[in-house]
Homo-oligomer: A and B are copies of this chain.
Amino acid sequence: MRAHNLALVLQTVANSTNQPSRAAVSAATGLTRATVSALVDDLVAGGLLVEVDPPPRTGAGRPAVGLTLTSTGPAGLGLEINVDYLAACVVDLTGAVRQRFVEHADQRPADPARALATLGALAARARLAAEADGLTVAGAALAVPGLVAGGGLVRVAPNLGWQDIDAVAELHRVPELAGLPVTVDNEANLAALGELRVTGGDPTFLYISGEIGIGAGLVLDGELYRGVRGWSGEIGHVTVYPDGRPCRCGSRGCLEQYAGQEALESGEPLAAAALGIALSAVVNLLDVPVIVLGGAYAPIFERLREGIEAELRQRVLTSGLAPVVLRPAALGADAAMRGAADAIIRAVRENPATWLRRSSERYA
């Protein structure tokens, strides 16, 4: 119960645009001022919240002391490995990017262990720089373009040529990362989480990422839906033309063949229509009101828009009742890495009690 209320208070402060006082938090949560005070004291002592100078005066009464998330405290390490670059970033509790390292290089010639060692070195630099800056890296998340099983095992990443790679074990070989909790997730899933942070108002949307392959991340009611085995979002292999072009997955007429990066670069005329057909299926099935176009789609959003919307108007049963909103991704190529870092601090925000216990043990 304490844990639940600590999280409630922390989230209330986090989701507030201004710097709320204890009294404001009390009003927003329904908890007593006395309770909020006690909880806030714990969060301040544990280094998750800091008191700041009162905001602009307003009326009579004792001035409020504002509360805000600390910028020296737990941080998330976001990692990404993709076909043509490696990247690492550190994001603090407020969501600000504090460190950012990108290394462009084609990963396909390198074997997985080599690539992960290089990424590990990048991650180590990011971690050390962040900790010199007063942050404590609470964990890391790695975005990969492929199917991930539980426990950090990459089952298959076609465009990297990977198969059954234990990415966590490889990263843990780097001394500076040993012992750090590391999770691995699909690139589109994490990019969707990154957008969720920026998107603000929309708790339910589909993020679709056009790279060499096409992936999607589905956010339902503010939660990423990963599927039972973590293999959701494979929109690239949704059939749009049942007897269409053969795909290297063994099927025919996959979206990827018409709207993947290679098709786009060769000026495929069916790209927008194919996207529209596949997205209509998503909306008909899930009643998703917002679709975010990311990856290679973001820069050519305006060029795709009309073609996609025409299909949605025709093929979505409820399009007459409420139109589907189409939007380009706000974060660019950093979305997956940012989402990865965000996943870590999201965990701290959702379970501050765990962090407080850990940080009190550090000094014991």
Contact = CB atoms under 8 A, between A and B. Distances in A.
Contacts of A229: 287, 289, 318, 321-322
B277 A239 contact: yes
Copies in the complex: 2
A251 B286 contact: no
Size bracket of the A interface: 35 or more
A136 interface: no
A234 to B, nearest CB: 4
Interface string A45-83: 000000000000000000000000000000000000000
B233 A285 contact: yes
- The A interface is mostly helix, strand or loop, or mixed, namely loop
A322 to B, nearest CB: 6
Contacts of A230: 287
Nearest to A280: B239
A241 B315 CA distance: 12
A1 interface: yes
Given A237-B317, A239-B281, A241-B242, 5 more contacts: A204-B228, A216-B285, A240-B242, A251-B315, A281-B285
A239 B285 contact: no
A310 to B, nearest CB: 12
Contacts of A289: 228-229
Among A282, A287, A316, the most chain B Cβ lie within 10 Å of the Cβ of A287
A330 B37 CA distance: 54
